[in-house]
Amino acid sequence: MDSLKTAITETNSGFDIQNDLNLLDSIANNIQQLDTLRQTDIEARRAKNNKLTKQLSTLSASINQLKGSNKMKTAQKQLIDLENQMFHIAGNLTTFNMELNSLKLTYNQELKRLDELENQLQEMKNSFELSEDIEVAERAKMIKLKLYESLGMKLDIQNKQVMVLNKRKNKSGVLKLENYSEYFISNYIWDNI
């Protein structure tokens, strides 16, 4: 047994456990510091969590109070009314745009019709002026023919011919009006009257 005791003492003296003890003390101190930091962090987070929970409760109470208040109900009703008015206005605007496009189309069609009527009116004016000119010319011819008739000429309007009687020479001649110019007819009549 003595030898065992000596062996243990010799083995024990061969180990330098002071460094190991110092290392274990240092590890224990670090663990204690980490535990303290962790506890401090947990307490800070709990305090922050409690503060946020109180804020959430306060905000929830405020929201519930606002939801239940008459002002909020009135504001919601006004918002719904405004949305309905907005949809009504949008519908009216669409209808207005459709009517405006229809009016533009009708306006363009009426402008086209007006142009056509103006063209027809101008054609009628031109035709009237032309027919008026023709009518005046015809009247002038008739007056001339009446004068010639009084001088011895007979007019056959249906056959469009003139019979000229020369009373001095006791001679007569027939001239078709449509085949000759007015100048020739006038000269023929004056020469043969």
Query: Is 175 part of any domain?
Result: yes
- Tokens (6 digits) for 178: 């449509």
User: Which CATH number goes with the domain that contains 121?
Assistant: 3.30.160.430
In Å, the largest CA–CA distance within the chain is 204
Q: What is the CA radius of gyration of the chain?
A: 65
Write down the pLDDT at residue 134.
Answer: 67
- Tokens (6 digits) for 123: 């054609």
Query: Is 172 part of any domain?
Result: yes
Write down the pLDDT at residue 96.
Answer: 93
Instruction: Decide: 65 and 72 in contact? Cβ < 8 Å.
Output: no
Write down the pLDDT at residue 15.
Answer: 64
Write down the pLDDT at residue 29.
Answer: 93
Instruction: Decide: 133 and 125 in contact? Cβ < 8 Å.
Output: no
pTM over 0.85: no
Quote the domain boundaries for residue 183. Answer: 110-192
Write down the pLDDT at residue 72.
Answer: 73
Write down the pLDDT at residue 128.
Answer: 67
* Domain tally, the chain: 1
Query: Is 81 part of any domain?
Result: no
Write down the pLDDT at residue 87.
Answer: 94
Write down the pLDDT at residue 105.
Answer: 94
| Residue ranges in the chain whose pLDDT is less than 50 | none
Residue in this structure with the two tokens 């535990």, named with its chain if needed = 35
